């Protein structure tokens, strides 16, 4: 009734699992015609499962090796290394207990970088997520020229952060940059946006928002397009205002996307430092230094890798906490739906 | 009646105005850089619609640093990473989606850790590993930690879970082995996901900076981003015409690709993010 493959001669390389698989398949096809012994079928099934699980591990092997080498083992070794001194040419690493951590707590630059990083996160995340939502609503709203608008909002996303940094460095240039030229029209004077301690971090944050808002917009846009149009029609019949519709229908439906975007935004706030290399180098006087940038400087400029691992532990703790929060809130989200 | 769809023309005009003001502000920095890159230095910071266009800045930038080599390095890097990811993530995603074995869920959770903790966060430990393996200052060393990806495995697993099991069984009866089923049934059905994932990863690795900065220290291995940063910081004085030209040049291929295939790009990013 079914075209069966030639018995015992599978076309693929004769892996054990492959043979058992075809055997199982034939058994189940045959079972439809005449009932086979229950025990024999179970045995075949058990054998097939063992073979399949070996196959699964083979498929996973390359990825597992890479993950272990570059994610899981490094997490453990970072923790271990943070209790050891930095190896020197004539003096290998030795156990120093909490000494790296004591240095860290006494390091004013660490505290500065940590505080900056939180200011950076708190300043950029609400703004870029809020703007992303606004952009998505605009673009979703069939305004004139929406394709062009969408392009304008999204373009920064495809640019390398290094290029973005150069572009904004130029944009910020005192008196020559577009910003100061515009300011001059309104009677403003030359400002060293990146060179002054009071404005540098803020100037960096603007760049981050510019780069990220269009990226987050895409996720909102995708979610908005999945809201069924009948909801809008029903609201129109009820005479709901646009604002009410947004507050009572759109915003709650967007909640899972907002959560997804927020998690990504937090990760990015601790991970994206490329523009700091170009625009300020962490200065002036560490005004724009953040955690990962500080780790880079300690680990790869001063080559104090023991201390750098202790700093990395702080970053890992922050991201671990985020993972925990996400895990807990993700459970809640399922509940609401 | 203040119905949703029939908001007054005033509101609508206002919304359009705000949307476009934001759009213009969003375009301004890039537009300013493009203006400067394609006009003589004399017009760098002063606007004149009649200013002559020029390719001289691009030409000077091209010769001022080994950009041809940097382009080659970036292209090799992107091809290597995205190619390896497509293969390795496919295999792993298939195992997670269609096999039952002990410890599968735990293993999957362990894989997802990489979504949070990217290889560059662990730069200190990973640098030591790459150095011990002897791959410092090689393109392979730059690519190595990124050859597989939790994100890719996650996306493809979702896609594979949506493939009807009947199709797989039919293929098995036709005599396909595991890899045959994967290649003939699952991969073709997940093609849009591959396109989406591929575009996102190409732009991510074209733009990646910190890890390549740490691993490379010569012209032969530097990708464009690192090359551009070295170029912009090294004694260019402040020749903005040339720096912006180099900047536009290095982002050019992605930018042009984006403008040409805007729909696909946007839809790809949507797909890659939502599922």
Q: Is A239 on the interface with B (CB under 8 A)?
A: yes
How far is it, in rounded angstroms, from Cα B32 to Cα A76?
47
Give pLDDT, residue A270: 92
**B146 with B208, same domain?**
yes
DSSP state of A34: S
Nearest to B223 by CA among B96, B117, B138: B138
Structural tokens at position A57 = 């591990």
pTM metric for this prediction: 0.83
From chain B, pick out residues whose CB is under 8 angstroms from the CB of A149: 19-20, 23
**B34 with B114, same domain?**
no
Count of alpha carbons within 13 angstroms of residue B246, beta-carbon side: 29
* pLDDT tens digit sequence for A219-251: 888 888 888 888 878 888 887 788 888 888 888
How far is it, in rounded angstroms, from Cα A26 to Cα B237?
76
Of B100, B233, B269, the CB nearest to A218: B269
Domain presence at residue B178: yes
Domain presence at residue B3: no
Give pLDDT, residue B211: 94
**B54 with B81, same domain?**
no
**B30 with B91, same domain?**
no
Buried b (16+ CB within 10 A) or exposed e, A241-250: ebeebbeebb
Lowest mean pLDDT of A9-23, A88-102, B38-52, name the range.
A9-23
**B49 with B107, same domain?**
no
Structural tokens at position B186 = 């699952």
**B211 with B135, same domain?**
yes
Domain end point (choices B42, B59, B76): B59
**B175 with B228, same domain?**
yes
What stretches in chain B show pLDDT beneath 50?
Answer: 1-5, 275
Domain presence at residue B72: yes
How far is it, in rounded angstroms, from Cα B213 to Cα A274?
10
* pLDDT tens digit sequence for A281-296: 887 888 899 999 999 9
Give pLDDT, residue B205: 92
Lowest mean pLDDT of A18-32, A76-90, B57-71, name the range.
A18-32
CB B227 within 8 A of CB B65: yes
Of the pLDDT bands very low, low, confident and very high (cuts 50, 70, 90), residue A124 is very high
CB B149 within 8 A of CB B219: no
Q: How many domains does chain B have?
A: 2
Binding-face residues of A in 244-303 toward B, CB within 8 A: 245, 257, 260, 267, 270-271, 273-274, 277-278, 292, 295-296, 299-300
How far is it, in rounded angstroms, from Cα B73 to Cα B70?
5
More confident residue, A30 or B272: B272
Domain presence at residue B89: yes
Q: Is A37 on the interface with B (CB under 8 A)?
A: no
Of the pLDDT bands very low, low, confident and very high (cuts 50, 70, 90), residue A18 is very low
From chain A, pick out residues whose CB is under 8 angstroms from the CB of B209: 160-162, 274, 277
Structural tokens at position A20 = 């058992």
Give pLDDT, residue A178: 72
Q: What is the mean pLDDT of residues A175-179?
A: 70
Q: Is A206 on the interface with B (CB under 8 A)?
A: no
Structural tokens at position B97 = 């989606």
Residues of the domain holding B177: 66-274
Domain end point (choices B59, B85, B101): B59
From chain B, pick out residues whose CB is under 8 angstroms from the CB of A323: 113, 116
CB A193 within 8 A of CB B55: no
**B98 with B177, same domain?**
yes
Give pLDDT, residue B80: 96
Nearest to B172 by CA among A117, A273, A12, A306: A12
Nearest to B271 by CA among B162, B141, B172, B155: B155
Domain presence at residue B87: yes
Backbone angles phi, psi at A151, to 5 degrees: -65, -45
Asked whether the beta carbons of residue A18 and residue B123 sit closer than 8 angstroms, the reply is: no
Buried b (16+ CB within 10 A) or exposed e, A110-139: bebbbebbeebbebbbebbbebbbbbbbbb
Q: At residue A31, does pLDDT exceed 60? A: no
Give pLDDT, residue A144: 80
Q: At residue A29, does pLDDT exceed 50? A: no
Asked whether the beta carbons of residue B177 and residue A75 sit closer than 8 angstroms, the reply is: no
More confident residue, A76 or A176: A76
Q: At residue A5, does pLDDT exceed 50? A: no
In chain A, % of residues over pLDDT 70: 81
Output the domain CATH number for residue B222: 1.10.3720.10
**B237 with B113, same domain?**
yes
* pLDDT tens digit sequence for A296-330: 999 999 898 889 999 999 999 999 998 888 878 76
Query: What sign does the dihedral B168-B171-B177-B179 (CA atoms) show?
Result: negative
Of B27, B102, B250, the CB nearest to A163: B250
Domain presence at residue B4: no
Mean pLDDT of chain A: 80
CA distance A296 to chain B (A): 8
Domains and CATH numbers, chain A: 16-59 (no CATH), 99-336 (1.10.3720.10)
**B23 with B100, same domain?**
no
CA distance B219 to chain A (A): 18
**B72 with B176, same domain?**
yes
Q: At residue A1, does pLDDT exceed 70? A: no
Domain end point (choices B38, B59, B80): B59
Domain presence at residue B237: yes
Give pLDDT, residue A237: 83
CB A218 within 8 A of CB B273: yes
- B102: which residues sit within 8 A by CB, 6+ positions away? A53
Q: At residue A103, does pLDDT exceed 50? A: yes
**B242 with B172, same domain?**
yes
Domain presence at residue B35: yes
């Amino acid at each position: 009734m079914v075209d069966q493959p030639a018995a015992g001669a599978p076309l693929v390389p004769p892996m054990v699992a492959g043979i058992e698989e075809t055997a199982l398949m034939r058994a189940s096809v045959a079972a439809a015609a005449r009932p086979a012994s229950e025990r024999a079928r179970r045995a075949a099934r058990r054998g097939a499962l063992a073979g399949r699980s070996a196959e699964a591990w083979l498929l996973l092997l390359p990825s597992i090796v890479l993950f272990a080498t570059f994610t899981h083992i490094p997490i453990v070794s970072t923790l271990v290394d943070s209790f050891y001194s930095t190896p020197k040419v004539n003096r290998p690493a030795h156990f120093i207990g909490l000494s790296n951590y004591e240095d860290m707590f006494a390091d004013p630059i660490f505290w500065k970088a940590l505080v900056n990083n939180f200011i950076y996160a708190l300043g950029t995340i609400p703004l870029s997520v809020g703007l992303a939502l606004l952009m998505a609503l605009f673009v979703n709203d069939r305004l004139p020229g929406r394709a062009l608008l969408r392009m304008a909002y999204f373009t920064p996303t495809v640019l390398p952060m290094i290029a973005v940094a150069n572009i904004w460095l130029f944009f910020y240039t005192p008196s020559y940059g577009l910003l100061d030229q515009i300011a001059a029209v309104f009677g403003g004077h030359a400002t060293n946006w990146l060179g002054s301690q009071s404005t540098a971090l803020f100037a960096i944050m603007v760049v981050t928002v510019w780069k990220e808002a269009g990226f987050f917009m895409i996720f909102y846009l995708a979610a908005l397009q999945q809201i069924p149009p009948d909801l809008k029609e029903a609201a129109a019949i009820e005479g709901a205002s646009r604002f009410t519709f947004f507050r009572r229908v759109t915003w709650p439906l967007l909640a899972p996307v907002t959560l997804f975007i927020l998690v990504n935004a937090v990760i990015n706030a601790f991970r994206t430092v490329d523009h700091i290399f170009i625009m300020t180098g962490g200065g002036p006087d560490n005004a724009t230094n953040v955690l990962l940038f500080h780790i880079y400087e300690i680990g790869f400029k001063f080559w104090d890798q023991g201390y750098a691992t202790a700093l990395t532990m702080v970053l890992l703790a922050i991201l671990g906490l985020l993972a925990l929060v996400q895990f807990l809130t993700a459970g809640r989200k399922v509940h609401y739906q | 009646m203040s119905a949703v769809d029939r908001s007054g023309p005033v509101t609508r005009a206002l919304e359009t105005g705000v949307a476009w003001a934001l759009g213009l502000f969003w375009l301004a920095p890039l537009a300013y850089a493009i203006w400067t890159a394609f006009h003589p230095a004399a017009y760098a910071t002063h606007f004149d619609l009649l200013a002559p266009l020029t390719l001289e800045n691009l030409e000077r930038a091209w010769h001022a640093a080994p950009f041809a080599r940097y382009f080659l390095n970036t292209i090799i890097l992107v091809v290597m990473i995205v190619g390896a990811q497509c293969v390795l993530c496919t295999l792993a995603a298939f195992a997670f989606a269609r096999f039952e074995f002990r410890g599968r869920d735990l293993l999957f959770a362990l894989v997802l850790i990489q979504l949070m903790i990217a290889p560059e966060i662990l730069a200190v430990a990973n640098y030591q590993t790459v150095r011990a393996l002897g791959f410092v200052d090689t393109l392979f060393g730059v690519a190595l930690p990124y050859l597989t990806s939790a994100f890719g495995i996650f996306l493809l697993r979702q896609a594979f879970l949506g493939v009807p099991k009947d199709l797989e069984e039919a293929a098995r009866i036709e005599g396909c082995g595991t890899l045959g089923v994967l290649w003939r049934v699952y991969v073709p059905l997940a093609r849009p996901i591959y396109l989406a994932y591929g575009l996102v990863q190409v732009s991510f690795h074209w733009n990646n900076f910190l890890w390549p900065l740490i691993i490379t220290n010569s012209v032969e291995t530097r990708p464009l981003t690192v090359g551009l940063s070295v170029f912009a910081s090294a004694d260019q004085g402040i020749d903005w015409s040339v720096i912006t030209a180099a900047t536009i040049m290095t982002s050019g291929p992605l930018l042009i690709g984006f403008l040409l295939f805007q729909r696909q790009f946007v839809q790809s990013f949507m797909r890659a993010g939502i599922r």
